Structure 1
Amino acid sequence: MEKTKTSPLSFIKKWCYDKRLYFLVFFLPVAIMFSAYAFFKIHPIGDSSVLVLDLNGQYVYYYEQFRDAFHGNGSFIYNWSRNLSGEMFGVFAYYLASPFMLILVLLPRTMMATSILILQLAKIGTAAVTFMFFLKKISVQKPKTISLIIFPTMYALMSYMVVQLMDPMWLDGLIYLPLICWGVHRLVDEGKLVPYIVPLALMFIAHFYIGYMVGIFTFFYFCWYCLSREGRILPKKFFSRCVAFGIGTLVALMCAAFVLITVYNSLKLGKFEFTDPDFSLATQFDFLTFITKLFPMSYDTVYPEGMPMIYCGTAVLILVPLFFMNDRITMKEKTSTGLLTFLLVILMYIKPADMAMHGFQVPNWLPYRYSFIFSFLMIVMAFRAFENLEGITAKNIGGIFFGLMVFLFWCERENYSHFQLFETKTSETGDTTNVIQGIWVSMIALAAYFALIYLIKKYPKSKAVCIVMVGVLAVELFANSADTIDKIDTDVAYSKYTSYEPYMTQTRNAVSMMKEYDPSLFYRMEATFHRTVNDPIGTGYKGISHSSSTMNAPALMMLHKLGYAYGGHYTKYDGTTFMTDALFDIKYLMDKTGNTSFVGTRVKVPEEYKLTTEYTEGDATYKFYNNPNALGLGMVSSPSIEDVSLSEDNPFENQNMVFNALAGTTKEYFTKIPVINSEMENVSTSQLTDGHTKYFPTDTSIAECHIDYVVKMDKDSYLYMYLPTKYERSCNVWIQDEDDYMDGSEPMEYAGQFFVGDNYSIMNLGKFYEGQELRIRITVANDDNEAYWKDQLFYTFDYDSFAQTCADMQKNVLEVTSFKDTYLEGTVNAENDGSVLFTTIPYENGWTITVNGKKVTAEKSLDSLITIPLEQGENKITMKFSPDYWKVSLIITGFGVVLLVLIFLFEYKRGKVMKKVLAKANFTAENSENATTPVINDTTDTTDEPLRIYRPDNDDDEKLRHINEMMKNILGEDEDSGKNDK
């Protein structure tokens, strides 16, 4: 009979039907989470968005840039919109390496916020699918259908997942963890490496940081499985499996080397020194509070003092104790699993151990970033107990239920702030309502699961009970997800959708218009407004403002010492002066009128900058002002610029030093003016040993607490202020003409805040005339009722002298003749021998530089910027960014992939493929046809058997025998493993 051909459509229908349970498991948690988002009115349902915390301030902008690079409008390797410029390897590996990023680049740009929502839901569904796959594979018998629905759904909507939707790149860990653990099973049971190597390598590629945590747990899981599996594992076999585990891990690391090596070099630029960790022994929580986090609606905070996010379903709380009471689960498995669970708790409980899990750093917000591993283990134990309900009694279930209810009553007495009976909500109209909270929901859920587990034990084939259980679980997970979203909004606030769009589209269009208006190959631009400091990288202009965990620390510190706003991992175009605008080639300053959202008050367009063009879209008009003093990407200087050392306390003198060194002058562009009078009201002071003065209220019952400084202008000029400190405490600044103050006719004018984050930078107090006396008031305005600074610096600026110097310097600036993100060419004329080209490109390894065709070594100025030695006369400069470590990483990855392919060929179908490959390569000569293929006796229990290696019968085939022996040693095959090969 002829076989009937199956049409592609029929095949797809059959495949979808066969995999219907996977589809159900994918879409069930997705539907629950989307319903929770809809309840909170997340766009497209309402005006809220998924943008919150770093997802709002950082990641979405990287997604915008990644989309540009993907479509050919930028580079994956280097970017000129981050803190002057910098490599993008670290940003890619830290935030963008997940394959799910394709969702963001393939959907329309105007859908970015919605695309992120789709990405989040896709990761939730995929995590459920991989966990279901894992549960099916580890089950000795075919698992209950209800088990394959409820436990993956719990896994996909554990509290960690719901909270960390704000950090989408971490969620790949929940997707790959079940696959990696299944790979460990295959390695131990069968000696196969490929099922272990592939998901582990993908995990390291998707996110090295979470991959590091998963990798540590994988070792623990490997040891656990060797100890807990049925049967006795011989020491020799255990050793061989350890060797195979090590080899598999090494190959996975090699395959991911193109990410791991590049991100390591990126982190060396500053992230490793970002914190000064304290490894002293300490504990981090009490265990009873820890247990409360296992219950629903127990979100506390994402601040550093937060507890682990470990809730994964109320049913788990009943089933995990039943796991240890179950007669059908071996004592060996119970003991080893209990030890592994205890180890995970200790890792969270002991501070140095927790820091080790975080890469020997203290997490900056969002602590216990690996707590999903604990939830994973809890759900696996619950699954094992649920699959073996025959091994427990009704008394066991009732006893656990009673104990948990007693604990909940005790929690109510303790009055935990994050775990209560009710929460009082106040509406916009002022009405108050009581909303049930975690304790009540837990009691209801426990009662429901107590009854349902008992009924499933008694009526295991009842579909009605199973449907009810799925419904109860869906309601519980919806309630927990919606409550978590609401509490996150209270804690750190979700952004409105309308705060992102149309702002981003309008700003991007305005920038594009400006690029068409001035098509020069290179110039920088900044703005008087910022939605966040990552506006430049998100909207496509070359700027100074940027925030990232993978930062070039020396460049950021240099910008800080010159007076810009700085926050450890970010800088902002706030605190700028004429001099820094010229130095860093800020050719255009963008202002906005009409819709003035995000327009600040600290950065003002100087009257010396002239309006060049403008762009209107919707209710916003973007105006572009030209800076006549911009000095290009680089300028000729004497070598003395390399000797300039910036101080930490005086950005004005730092700017004077830099500019004089570059221009070869000795002028005072900034001039310090003295304080002619100072007054304090309700202020006491004390002197610290490090030079700081502490200011604090004499009487805390009096609200007013301020210090007044009176200064006299020495010229017509802008007046700048800076208060150097290491201890930032927020203060308010006010200013008024001294005569007006004495008259008392008008109130003082509010100038803004000083200190703390964006506000700790040079403050431009306005433009005043020579001889004018001004009163500057600083009020202590923080909860600590204190402020510290070393000195009060007031400076004026000689603009005319500065502008003349700039005009002279512009004759010897780098003329860029060719520009790409990773390559540029330019020419510059050096009048004197020994001159250098001072550039505003941050120094880092990877630049190859030639001068007149000769390779030169880059030097460093201001501890952070590239300086290039020049020859006298005309110089042709080329600069190419292609780090050696990038090439090395690709080579190592190539070797890793080759090893993976070789291992696959040996493992696939017991080496049949490798036999054919070797035969075609003429390794087996004419005897290859006589080689036999091993057949496994179906009656033999191969659960604990290692991988079979193809064994030739012809003893003359030495080459093939040698290769097989080598692979046998690598994979740890026993000497007698071929006894069943007949």
Structure 2
Amino acid sequence: MNQTRKEVNMKLKQHPLIISFLLPVIITTVYFAFRGMAPFGQSSILTVDLGQQYIDFFAYFKHTLLTDPSGFLYSFSKGLGGDMLGTWAYYLMSPLNLILLFCSTSQLPSGILILTVLKYGLSGLTFAYLLKTNKFNSAFIPIFAISYSLMGWVIANQLNIIWLDAVIILPIIYLGLQRLILQRKVGTYITWLAIMLIVNYYFAFMIAIFMVLTSWFLNINFSTSRRQFWQNQWRWLWSSLIAGGISAIITIPTFYSLLTSKINYSENKLNLKIEYLPLKFFGKFFTGSLDFKQLPSGTPNVFVASLVLILFGYFYFSKQFSRKLRITHGVITLILFISMWFEPLDLFWHAMQMPVWYTYRFAFLFSFWLIVTAAKVFNTVLVEGLSLSALRKTLVISTLIIVMVGFLLPHLEYLTLTNYIWGIVYFALTATLIILVQKFQLWQVDYLPGLLLLLVGAEMTFNLVNSLNNLAYLSKDEYNVPASIIQQQANRLPQKSNDFYRVASTFMRTKNDALTGNYNGTSVFSSTLESNSSKFYGHLGDPDGDSFIAYTNGTTFSDALLGVKYYWSADAVKNPITKKAVTSPLETQTTRPDLNSYPVINKDKYVSTHKNNNALPIGFLAGSNDFKYQATNSPIAFQNELFTQITGQRQSLIVPTKLPTLNYQNLYPIKKLTGSVLRKRQLLNPASFNFTLQAKKGHSYYLTLGPDVSSKEVAIYVNGKKLKQYSNYRHTVIANLASTDKDKDIAVLFVVKKNNAWLQNVNLYQLNNQRLTTALKDVQTRSLKLTHVSNTNISGRITVHQKHQDLLTTIPSSTGWHVKVDNHPIENQTWGQMFLKIPLTKGQHQIQITYWPQGLTAGIVITSFSLLLLGGLLILKRRK
């Protein structure tokens, strides 16, 4: 037995880095395997944004690097088209993502699991390297490394895999800061801060603020003179600026991208507000203190091992550390603590953009601060022993906090009584072990590292299991089957080098299906979505948000305008043996009777592909008319104005239709639809009203619905089938009621679910599709003849027969687009509050439209200069 203990202790001393890497890898892999996550079973690691957003970006990442590098700058798969450099900077710049290049689309869930496990391991490795470089006792390094790699913030944000690089890189940046101040060596700090800025500028901002605080802390405590203090501060400043300059190739164009997206639509007022009772903060130090409700809003995830908490508290009571050290350290601790419940500081850490979901994203810095301090204290205690007086004070304060959390337990919905008790058990075991070790002076015994590692490892693993068990995950097939179907359908589309069209569908796995299928889409979910796209969809009558647009509520006109040449609809699926209907793997999001007028050109088990012969090209000529629409929350008026701009016809295309007679069931009658409040006669009984729409051949019928007409209040049925609409919209949308090839009566039923329901902006309209076809055939004769199409380069020929005409495009307008007519640059113009417009004179013209992100040239110059400057400084230093 003694021989075994010695062997374990020897391995801990000799291989602390390897052990610190392998332990979190083994723990997480065993857990994922036990849960049956791919590649170990039929479940997956995909949940929330990881399954609804990131995995589609990873599919796009593979396609861009392997087949189409132009997608690095711009992509028409991002909604109607958008800048991608900012998207790469936020989602995809981690070099670890290269692992995913070896995974097929169906293997991406397995690849993401491997990537997640690797990031857990690398977090332990870099923290262990920080301790080893600081001459920490090697045998005890894995104890603190596992507390760091499996801390509560990492567990809670495992699903935000793109953020975990910050946890990996932070210890190296901190090590670089130590070397900069204590040894006057700048290389590590500059290199890794620059890497962090390139990998994820958002979390680099948080780390940079933390470096400001810790540079002040290190400099005050370890500078021997005022002159040295200011020299160190100057060295830190110019090193930080060089690191920023090196990353400019990414950060500068990303900044311009944010000006048109996140920064542009965010409105965050500075409120002097306490966000929650600060005492609730301490509930997160108990195991399993995470559930799904904590993801959209909750207290910070700061769980660390009980050993860390005891040693951290001990630091402030022990006279083994200087008073100045404890005071300056306490200032930083206090700033971090207050930031996690005082809104102005919380807002500042998030770059003045309050997060939507996943609150207190900077909390990993607080956990790092706890663990790195605890490690420093432990290293001191190993040599000098414990102060029993300081330990006693620490345990008394800790006990008071535990009791206080017990009183708050009924108000901490994320913390169960069982987990509260387990937290006490682990804390008591840790405190007892420390007391016994001090009492019997066992600091140097061979088995202590293994015993502490077992205790801390068990506590961290218990928290991991309890926390992750509270989250639901997609099955492997819930991703694989629809993603594979989407890719198969995309591969069947015509592939021509000089053709451009968009694709829409009645179903969605996610709004980023176009990124997975690699086609020109109409929807997207991205934190870097341009605000103009959201505003345009809101005007058009389709669902929009600050970070998403969903083309689920189109009309035959908007289909044509946006060049939606192909439309996929989900077919009913039948069991091949019983011939009975079974659930389709494709979830239908919208009802589109308009597709009845689009011929089916391809059909398989799951999908019918419809062709829209009215789809307009990406560019076409129109008269030089001003776009006169003023925002009125009327998508019908907006589409009519777009129609006028394109065709020159002043008569509205989509017109109101007379409301048929309404029949009421348990409702008080109303005089009109829009603006009325439906009130039940008998509150406990079902209520509804219905009418019969006499639909004409070749006409489409639409119903506008205000954002307050939710499916929770009113359900709409057409001919007995529920009208499906995407549920999340903040402006008036257009619902497609009917479109027939013959005169037909359509039964429409409104079922009222609440005692009172407001019919906000509810109006009935019709569109003559024959008139639309005739008008658009004329527009199609004035189309741009494309000679080349890619994500960043569109060229073609056009002949203008009038003195002045505009070439209208459906390319989202952006300062990144550069237009040349007959090889002469012209200034960008916009039409329809969204798209690129090119004024032309009479004659034949060659058009070239290229994309180059704003700020990229300046970024390349600054990065090059910064690298040269750094190289020159290093050469000069060596010569000295």
Give the TM-score, by structure 2 length.
Answer: 0.91
Q: 1:171 to 1:771 in 2, by over 3 A?
A: closer
Q: Kindly indicate whether residue 807 of structure 2 is the aligned counterpart of residue 815 of structure 1.
A: no
Distance (whole Å) between structure 1 residues aligned to residue 176 and residue 44 of structure 2: 38
Q: Which amino acid aligns with 1:411?
A: V
Distance (whole Å) between structure 2 residues aligned to residue 421 and residue 101 of structure 1: 35
1:183 aligns with: 176
Q: Which amino acid aligns with 1:392?
A: L
2:843 aligns with: 873
Q: How does 1:201-350 map to 2 (within 5 A)?
A: 201-229=194-222, 233-300=224-291, 301-350=293-342
Is residue 664–residue 690 contact of structure 2 (8 Å, CA) maintained in 1?
yes
TM superposition shift of 1:550: 0.7
Q: Kindly indicate whether residue 139 of structure 2 is the aligned counterpart of residue 150 of structure 1.
A: no
2:51 aligns with: 56
2:627 aligns with: 643
* Larger displacement relative to structure 2 (728-737 or 18-27): 728-737
Q: Which amino acid aligns with 1:632?
A: P
Q: Deviations over 1:316-349 (max 9, x none)?
A: 2221111123332222221211111011111222
Q: Which amino acid aligns with 1:438?
A: N
TM superposition shift of 1:898: 1.1
Q: Which amino acid aligns with 1:71?
A: L
Q: 1:749 to 1:621 in 2, by over 3 A?
A: closer
1:371 aligns with: 363
Q: Which amino acid aligns with 2:596?
A: E
2:716 aligns with: 734
Aligned with 1:196 (options 189, 195, 205) = 189
Q: 1:715 to 1:854 in 2, by over 3 A?
A: same
Is residue 714–residue 757 contact of structure 2 (8 Å, CA) maintained in 1?
no
2:650 aligns with: 666
Is residue 534–residue 546 contact of structure 1 (8 Å, CA) maintained in 2?
yes
Distance (whole Å) between structure 1 residues aligned to residue 307 and residue 331 of structure 2: 22
1:586 aligns with: 564
Q: Kindly indicate whether residue 427 of structure 2 is the aligned counterpart of residue 446 of structure 1.
A: yes
Is residue 292–residue 419 contact of structure 1 (8 Å, CA) maintained in 2?
no
Is residue 298–residue 419 contact of structure 1 (8 Å, CA) maintained in 2?
no
Distance (whole Å) between structure 2 residues aligned to residue 235 and residue 898 of structure 1: 31
Is residue 565–residue 612 contact of structure 2 (8 Å, CA) maintained in 1?
yes
TM superposition shift of 1:605: 6.1
Q: 1:272 to 1:789 in 2, by over 3 A?
A: farther
Q: 1:19 to 1:692 in 2, by over 3 A?
A: farther
Distance (whole Å) between structure 1 residues aligned to residue 131 and residue 485 of structure 2: 49
TM superposition shift of 1:848: 1.7
Q: Which amino acid aligns with 1:659?
A: F
Distance (whole Å) between structure 2 residues aligned to residue 254 and residue 167 of structure 1: 28
Q: 1:541 to 1:900 in 2, by over 3 A?
A: same
TM superposition shift of 1:391: 4.4
Distance (whole Å) between structure 2 residues aligned to residue 760 and residue 36 of structure 1: 46
Distance (whole Å) between structure 2 residues aligned to residue 686 and residue 613 of structure 1: 46
Report the 3-state secondary structure (helix = DSSP H, G, I; strand = E; otherwise coil) of the residue aligned with 1:839.
Answer: strand
1:536 aligns with: 514
Report the 3-state secondary structure (helix = DSSP H, G, I; strand = E; otherwise coil) of the residue aligned with 1:557.
Answer: helix
Report the 3-state secondary structure (helix = DSSP H, G, I; strand = E; otherwise coil) of the residue aligned with 1:635.
Answer: strand
Distance (whole Å) between structure 1 residues aligned to residue 494 and residue 412 of structure 2: 51
Distance (whole Å) between structure 1 residues aligned to residue 127 and residue 462 of structure 2: 22
1:779 aligns with: 752
TM superposition shift of 1:710: 6.4
Distance (whole Å) between structure 1 residues aligned to residue 565 and residue 734 of structure 2: 20
Report the 3-state secondary structure (helix = DSSP H, G, I; strand = E; otherwise coil) of the residue aligned with 1:833.
Answer: strand
Is residue 140–residue 449 contact of structure 2 (8 Å, CA) maintained in 1?
no
Q: 1:478 to 1:805 in 2, by over 3 A?
A: same
Is residue 304–residue 363 contact of structure 1 (8 Å, CA) maintained in 2?
no
Q: Deviations over 1:584-618 (max 9, x none)?
A: 1111112343372224152356222112234x5xx
Is residue 543–residue 551 contact of structure 2 (8 Å, CA) maintained in 1?
yes
Report the 3-state secondary structure (helix = DSSP H, G, I; strand = E; otherwise coil) of the residue aligned with 1:102.
Answer: helix
Is residue 169–residue 196 contact of structure 2 (8 Å, CA) maintained in 1?
yes
Report the 3-state secondary structure (helix = DSSP H, G, I; strand = E; otherwise coil) of the residue aligned with 2:614.
Answer: coil
TM superposition shift of 1:47: 2.4
Distance (whole Å) between structure 2 residues aligned to residue 418 and residue 180 of structure 1: 35
Identity within the alignment, %? 24
Give the TM-score, by structure 1 length.
Answer: 0.82
Is residue 412–residue 420 contact of structure 1 (8 Å, CA) maintained in 2?
no
Aligned with 1:499 (options 466, 469, 478) = 478
Question: What's the C-alpha RMSD, in Å, of the aligned pairs?
Answer: 2.9
2:612 aligns with: 627
Q: Kindly indicate whether residue 70 of structure 2 is the aligned counterpart of residue 79 of structure 1.
A: no
Q: Which amino acid aligns with 1:464?
A: Y
Distance (whole Å) between structure 2 residues aligned to residue 290 and residue 414 of structure 1: 11
1:953 aligns with: none
1:596 aligns with: 584
Q: Kindly indicate whether residue 396 of structure 2 is the aligned counterpart of residue 411 of structure 1.
A: no
Aligned with 1:892 (options 844, 855, 862) = 862
Aligned with 1:607 (options 590, 596, 606) = 596
Q: How does 1:350-365 map to 2 (within 5 A)?
A: 350-365=342-357
TM superposition shift of 1:399: 5.4
Q: 1:452 to 1:18 in 2, by over 3 A?
A: closer
Q: 1:900 to 1:478 in 2, by over 3 A?
A: same
TM superposition shift of 1:513: 2.6
Is residue 187–residue 196 contact of structure 1 (8 Å, CA) maintained in 2?
yes
Distance (whole Å) between structure 2 residues aligned to residue 32 and residue 685 of structure 1: 65
Q: Which amino acid aligns with 1:315?
A: L
Q: How does 1:476-491 map to 2 (within 5 A)?
A: 476-487=459-470, 489=471
Aligned with 1:113 (options 93, 109, 116) = 109
Aligned with 1:724 (options 706, 727, 736) = 706
Aligned with 1:828 (options 785, 792, 798) = 798
Distance (whole Å) between structure 2 residues aligned to residue 590 and residue 880 of structure 1: 30
Distance (whole Å) between structure 2 residues aligned to residue 563 and residue 78 of structure 1: 26
Distance (whole Å) between structure 1 residues aligned to residue 120 and residue 745 of structure 2: 64
Q: 1:419 to 1:761 in 2, by over 3 A?
A: closer
Is residue 123–residue 171 contact of structure 1 (8 Å, CA) maintained in 2?
yes
Is residue 12–residue 139 contact of structure 2 (8 Å, CA) maintained in 1?
no
Distance (whole Å) between structure 2 residues aligned to residue 684 and residue 261 of structure 1: 60
Gapped runs of 5+ residues in structure 1? 1-15, 424-436, 738-747, 916-949, 951-982
Q: 1:188 to 1:421 in 2, by over 3 A?
A: closer
1:69 aligns with: 64
Q: 1:157 to 1:646 in 2, by over 3 A?
A: same
Report the 3-state secondary structure (helix = DSSP H, G, I; strand = E; otherwise coil) of the residue aligned with 2:798.
Answer: strand
TM superposition shift of 1:79: 0.4
Q: Kindly indicate whether residue 723 of structure 2 is the aligned counterpart of residue 751 of structure 1.
A: yes
Distance (whole Å) between structure 2 residues aligned to residue 541 and residue 439 of structure 1: 50
Q: 1:566 to 1:19 in 2, by over 3 A?
A: farther
TM superposition shift of 1:770: 5.1
Report the 3-state secondary structure (helix = DSSP H, G, I; strand = E; otherwise coil) of the residue aligned with 2:565.
Answer: strand
Distance (whole Å) between structure 2 residues aligned to residue 97 and residue 19 of structure 1: 34
Report the 3-state secondary structure (helix = DSSP H, G, I; strand = E; otherwise coil) of the residue aligned with 2:837.
Answer: strand
Q: How does 1:781-930 map to 2 (within 5 A)?
A: 787-907=757-877, 911=878, 915=879
Distance (whole Å) between structure 2 residues aligned to residue 857 and residue 635 of structure 1: 18
Q: 1:788 to 1:150 in 2, by over 3 A?
A: farther
Report the 3-state secondary structure (helix = DSSP H, G, I; strand = E; otherwise coil) of the residue aligned with 1:867.
Answer: strand
Is residue 817–residue 826 contact of structure 1 (8 Å, CA) maintained in 2?
yes
Q: Kindly indicate whether residue 124 of structure 2 is the aligned counterpart of residue 124 of structure 1.
A: no
Q: Deviations over 1:457-505 (max 9, x none)?
A: 4212223232122122222111111111122x2xxx3222111113323
Distance (whole Å) between structure 1 residues aligned to residue 197 and residue 74 of structure 2: 22
Is residue 629–residue 807 contact of structure 1 (8 Å, CA) maintained in 2?
yes
Q: Which amino acid aligns with 1:578?
A: T
TM superposition shift of 1:180: 1.6
Report the 3-state secondary structure (helix = DSSP H, G, I; strand = E; otherwise coil) of the residue aligned with 1:880.
Answer: strand
